[in-house]
Structures are given as C-alpha cells and as structure tokens.
Amino acid sequence: MSDSDFETEISTVPIGDILRRYPLAVDYLANIRLDRVDETKTFPEILQTVDEDILAEFGLDRGEVISHFRAFLEAFSRKSDTIETISSITILGGNNKLGMPETVELTITAGEVVSIVGPTGAGKSRLLEDIECLAQRDTPTTRQILINGAVPDFTKRFSTGGKLVAQLSQNMNFVMDLTVQEFLEMHAKSRMISGSSEIVEKCFAVANSLAGEKFTLDTKVTQLSGGQSRSLMIADTALLSSSPIILIDELENAGIDRREAIKLLVGNEKIVLMSTHDPLLALRADKRIVIKNGGIAKVIETAPDEELTLLKIEAIDSILLDIRNQLRGGGVIANESIPEFMEN
Ligand SMILES: Nc1ncnc2c1ncn2[C@@H]1O[C@H](COP(=O)(O)OP(=O)(O)OP(=O)(O)O)[C@@H](O)[C@H]1O
C-alpha cells in the first residue's frame, strides 16, 4: 500500500476498524493521550476534539499528527518489528520554569534504574513526557533527548507504537472497551509474541497477584479500578512489551504491591525511569534526579550507605503492608503488630 492509500484509509475508515486492522495503533493513540474514542469516527474527526495545547505538549500540530499516524501505520504494516538496540539515552538540559538554563547532560545506560524526585508540581512528570516524546527542544522545557548519543530520526520518534518507550502513567486510558482477555490478546498479537494464549494467562495471573481486589478475564478494562488497571498495565509492560525504555509515573498511588511491581519491571537490560515520592522506590534506583522549579537541580548516585538504609525502610514497609492488608480485610490492629523499636 502506498502512502496515499494510507492517507485515504485514515481519513475515510472508522477508527474502530483501523484499530482492529492494526492493533498497535492503540498504543499510538494512548501515547498522544487520546482518551476513549468513538469507534465510528475517523481519525481526523477524533483529532478535532483534541485540545491544541495537549498536542503542543508533544511538540505537534494537528496536521503533523495525521502524517505521523500514517507513517506509523505504514511502518507497522511492513512488520518492521525489529527494535534497534538502545544502549543509552541522553538528556540535554533546557530551561527550568524560571527560564534559567539547566546545566546538565545526563546519559543513562541500558540496565540502569533512575528515580525522579522533587516536590509536588516540580516537573517530574514533565521530564518523563520529554523522554516519552523524545523531545527535540520543542516542548515547554526545551530539553533534547538523544538515543545512543544521536538525534533519533523522525520515523522512530513517532512510529514507535510503544516499542521504544513504554509509559506507565498515573491514569490509564483504555482506548477501546475490550475485556481483559481481548486487551491482552490484542497486545500479544500486535507484538507478534508466539504462544500468545500462555502469555495472556501469565499476564493475567501476574496482574491479579499485584491488584488487591481480583478481576476476571471477562471484566471490561474500563470497569477495572485504578489499582487493577495499573496492575494490568504493569504485567502487560513487563511481560508483553519489548520496549527498551520504561517510564513509570508515581507507582505508589496505585495501591498495589509496588515492590513486586518494580521487581517485575526492572531487569532485562532496560532503561527504567520512575517519578516518585516514595523513599523505598527512590532509593531502589541506581541514581536519582532531583527536580526543582521544572529543572534538573542534581543527579545523585545511590550511596552504599543508602542501600543499607533501604533494607531498614523495606522492613518498616513490610510491617505497614501487613497492617494495610489486615485493615483491608476488616481486621483490628493489635498493638503487638508494631515492633518495640518503633514505639516512642
Ligand atoms: N521546565 C519547565 N518549563 C515550563 N513548564 C514546566 C517545566 N517543567 C514542568 N513544567 C510544567 O509544570 C507543571 C507541573 O509539572 P509536573 O506535572 O511534571 O509536576 P510533578 O513534579 O510531576 O508533580 P506531582 O508530584 O504533583 O505529580 C506542568 O504543567 C509542566 O508542564
């Protein structure tokens, strides 16, 4: 199919049919924060409902989105599923919210876990968004992101389909109202995973082990609670995604077993960046980026002494987790549940 055929398909075929034809397009829409879509409308009709400001956050205008979507479908239909090896990403500083330059050039290599800390509203999520859209000095921060030390090419930037970067955001927006089973099958199929029924089962089991309240394969994804949908996305990202870069926004808000979730997500030589207010997650990283007034103020390597502190924090956290589970189950908390060293 030629470029103009794709152009015609996008402007005439309802998005529901396009999503069924190219399952990975679900990721594309989610990447540009397109909430649930009216499946009977075409992509340009849906785009009319998206605020200009949201697109500007990604350094795009409406016309560009359509041509990127075309490039995406074209790349997907070629089944160019080979992911280039990502050995590093580099963040080149832009300006903070006060317009002052960020004097930073930070390279993160495959296998590294980096946390992003800073006060509420400081700009942690913004840094993740810059990485997600591979900013090229065209977002509010004017940062630039390099892949393997070079400017990523245009097609990679927007035709990633969640391949280069997997983003686990604070709010999970499911583009289509599928059951959990259909959702996982669609992802497994679009990522060309063989033995997909086994992996769907595994993904489902893992998601349920992270979530407090259980759900079934027949549950509609839009009916999942916040914690359940987060668990499903974590299992999906850990087991079905081949993305070499994983971005995680405030895992602690999900009300799930975050230690287990992190164990699942890190490893496999991926680059993991997570914004967090949680000491346990912040110290679990190899490095932490400190954000202040929208800019990177410091980059700190986790010291050996901090790793020892982490063990103590984990012990405290286990106690809290146990108390939380007891409370959830309607229990009454006995005084003996609190170790003596914590009293006074
Ligand atoms: N360097 C910058 N220049 C301009 N605007 C910025 C910059 N950094 C962040 N912002 C804007 O500041 C606002 C708050 O940032 P963001 O949501 O990333 O904060 P956060 O640290 O993730 O907060 P929270 O902890 O509450 O989730 C956003 O509108 C973001 O686009």
Write down the pLDDT at residue 340.
67
Domain ranges of the chain: 3-77, 88-302, 306-342
121: CA distance to ligand 1 center in Å? 5
264: CA distance to ligand 1 center in Å? 28
Q: Where do runs of H (alpha helix) occur along the chain?
A: 3-12, 15-21, 25-31, 43-47, 52-57, 62-77, 124-132, 154-158, 180-190, 196-210, 226-240, 258-265, 279-284, 304-328
58: CA distance to ligand 1 center in Å? 14
**Residue type, position 92, single letter:** L
φ, ψ of residue 332 in degrees (nearest 5): -110, 135
ipTM of this model? 0.97
37: CA distance to ligand 1 center in Å? 27
For 147-153, which contacts have Cβ atoms below 8 Å and span 24 or more sequence positions?
147/86, 147/88, 147/89, 148/84, 148/85, 148/86, 148/87, 148/88, 149/88, 149/90, 149/107
Write down the pLDDT at residue 9.
85
107: CA distance to ligand 1 center in Å? 21
Q: CB-based contacts of 50: which residues, under 8 Å, 6+ apart?
A: 32, 34, 62
Write down the pLDDT at residue 166.
76
Residue 21 DSSP code:
H
Write down the pLDDT at residue 170.
59
Q: ∠ CA 54-58-64 to the nearest 5 degrees?
A: 95
Write down the pLDDT at residue 161.
46
Q: Which residue bears the tokens 């009216």?
A: 38
φ, ψ of residue 281 in degrees (nearest 5): -75, -40
Rounded Cα distance between 172 and 68, Å, is: 23
**CA-proximal residue: ligand 1, atom 25 (nearest):** 120
**How many residues are there in the chain?**
344
Pocket probe for ligand 1: among 98, 125, 167, 249, the residue whose CB has the most ligand atoms within 8 Å is 125
Write down the pLDDT at residue 81.
44
Fold that domain 88-302 belongs to in CATH: Rossmann fold (3.40.50)
Decide: helix, strand or coil at residue 242: coil
Write down the pLDDT at residue 343.
58
127: CA distance to ligand 1 center in Å? 8
Q: Which of 238, 245, 283 has its CA nearest to residue 260?
A: 238
Question: Is the C-beta atom of 121 inside 6 A of ligand 1?
Answer: yes
**CA-proximal residue: ligand 1, atom 24 (nearest):** 120
Q: What is the pLDDT of residues 287-327, one digit of tens each?
A: 999 999 999 999 999 999 998 999 988 888 888 888 887 88
Atom of ligand 1 nearest to the CA of 57: 31
Atom of ligand 1 nearest to the CA of 102: 1
Atom of ligand 1 nearest to the CA of 291: 21
- Reduce the secondary structure of 247-307 to three states and give it as a string: EEECHHHHCCCHHHHHHHHCCCCCEEEEECCCHHHHHHCCEEEEEECCEEEEEEECCHHHH
Tell the burial category of 146 from Cβ atoms under 10 Å away from its Cβ (0-12, 13-18, 19+).
Answer: middle
Residue 150 DSSP code:
B
Question: Is the C-beta atom of 292 inside 6 A of ligand 1?
Answer: no
What is the rounded (10 degree) CA torsion for 217, 223, 228, 229? 100
126: CA distance to ligand 1 center in Å? 5
Provide the residue-wise pLDDT of the chain in tens; the chain has 344 residues: 566 677 788 888 888 888 877 777 777 777 777 767 888 888 888 888 887 777 777 777 787 788 778 877 776 665 444 456 788 999 999 999 999 999 999 999 988 999 999 999 999 999 999 998 889 999 999 999 999 999 987 565 544 444 577 777 656 666 677 889 988 887 777 766 666 788 888 889 988 888 877 899 999 988 888 888 888 888 888 888 777 888 888 777 666 777 778 888 876 678 999 999 999 889 999 999 999 999 999 999 999 999 899 998 888 888 888 888 788 789 888 877 666 666 55
Decide: helix, strand or coil at residue 107: strand
